[in-house]
Amino acid sequence: MSTTTPAVLPDRIGRVLLALCAIATLGAFARGFTIMAEVSDERLITEAWRTFAYIVFAGLWAMIAVAPRAQRGVFELLLLQKTAITVFALVVNDVPDAGMTAAVDASLVIATAIAYVLCRGWQGWRTVR
């Protein structure tokens, strides 16, 4: 086995975790339309921005699920953003939805971090000679 290619089973498990993250994010996208229909006009643009951002996140997880070592920085960007929002939600834990946000985003961080290790995501940064 090559030192640059992960074993088949860990790689497959990592890819499935990433696909599950993408699917869960598509669920949040669908839920976003319900939220947009219920919010006040003052919150509509913010909720629309958040809802449409779910497509970007789902796409990023799908990209690395398909080719986990072909993307430079996508794993790291996802981990950075999801870790930041998890920490922020924990800090402001008395704000509505903070607890749920912390739990959901922490689970995405954990799944993505496990996939990063299983798929050897850091190898996206290697240079090809």
Instruction: Decide if 126 is inside a domain.
Output: no
Q: Would you place residue 5 in the very low, low, confident or very high pLDDT band (cuts 50, 70, 90)? A: confident
Site of tokens 């919010």: 39
Q: Is the pLDDT of residue 2 over 80?
A: no
Instruction: Decide if 128 is inside a domain.
Output: no
Q: Is the pLDDT of residue 128 over 70?
A: no
Instruction: Decide if 36 is inside a domain.
Output: yes
CA dist., res. 79 & res. 105, Å (int): 10
For residue 78, give the nearest of 1, 5, 25, 7 by alpha carbon.
25
What are the pLDDT digits (tens) for 15-65? 999 999 999 999 999 999 999 999 999 999 999 999 999 999 999 999 999
Task: Identify the domain containing residue 22 by its residue range.
Answer: 8-121
Residue 15 contacts by C-beta under 8 Å, 6 or more apart in sequence? 65, 66, 68, 115, 119
Instruction: Decide if 2 is inside a domain.
Output: no
What are the pLDDT digits (tens) for 59-101? 999 999 999 999 899 999 999 999 999 999 999 999 999 999 9
Q: Would you place residue 4 in the very low, low, confident or very high pLDDT band (cuts 50, 70, 90)? A: low
Instruction: Decide if 1 is inside a domain.
Output: no
Instruction: Decide if 90 is inside a domain.
Output: yes
Q: Would you call 6 helix, strand, or coil by DSSP?
A: coil
Task: Report the number of distinct structural domains present in the chain.
Answer: 1
Which structure tokens are listed for 74?
Answer: 């996508």
Residue 40 confidence (pLDDT): 95
Q: Is the pLDDT of residue 127 over 80?
A: no
Residue 102 contacts by C-beta under 8 Å, 6 or more apart in sequence? 86, 89, 90, 93
Residue 114 contacts by C-beta under 8 Å, 6 or more apart in sequence? 14, 17
CA dist., res. 118 & res. 10, Å (int): 5
Residue 129 confidence (pLDDT): 55
Instruction: Decide if 129 is inside a domain.
Output: no
| Dihedral (CA of 65, 66, 69, 71) sign | negative
Task: Provide the residue type at 84 as one letter.
Answer: A
Does the pTM surpass 0.85? The reply is: yes
